[in-house]
Amino acid sequence: MTLFQKIIDKEIPADIIFEDDLSLVFKDINPQAPVHLLIIPKKPMVKVSDASEEDKELLGHLMWVAGEVARQIGVEDTFRLVVNNGAKAGQSVFHVHIHLLSGRPFSWPPG
Ligand code: AMP
């Protein structure tokens, strides 16, 4: 069981700022920007590349949640979404999550 599953099950605490029947949004414990949130599906999914066709709506929902939460906290004009897929891309928790980063300028290309 992953750490994020324990957060979904409320077995370990997190600073949850949004929740609906399909998703959960909480603050990253090691923030890389003044605003650093994690948007996760409640359904266990290891990584984006493991998603099946039936997950299309859920993945789209997570993107909608990102925009909705950004509006709610007033950062809708400037934020970055990041998904690390696989250990070599920086994924350390193997439950799909979208990083929402805001509150500072961002450079391109990313590291
Ligand atoms: P990734 O490296 O893309 O898999 O992202 C995993 C993220 O989870 C990292 O940014 C970690 O800081 C974050 N993280 C790890 N443990 C916790 C936790 N208990 N609560 C909140 N965020 C966490």
Report, as an integer, the average pLDDT of 54-71. Answer: 98
| CA of 30 relative to ligand 1 center, distance in Å | 7
CA of residue 74 to ligand 1 center, whole Å: 23
Q: What is the pLDDT confidence band of residue 111, given thresholds at 50, 70 and 90?
A: confident
Q: Is 99 a catalytic residue?
A: no
Other Cβ atoms less than 10 A from the Cβ of 103: the count is 13
The amino acid at 57: E
Q: Are 47 and 2 in contact (CB under 8 A)?
A: no
Q: How confident is the model at residue 85 (pLDDT cuts 50, 70, 90)?
A: very high
- The DSSP bridge partners found for residue 83 are none
pLDDT higher than 90, residue 103: yes
- Which of the residues 61, 95, 97, 99 is marked catalytic? 97
**pLDDT reading at 100 higher than 90:** yes
pTM higher than the cut 0.85: yes
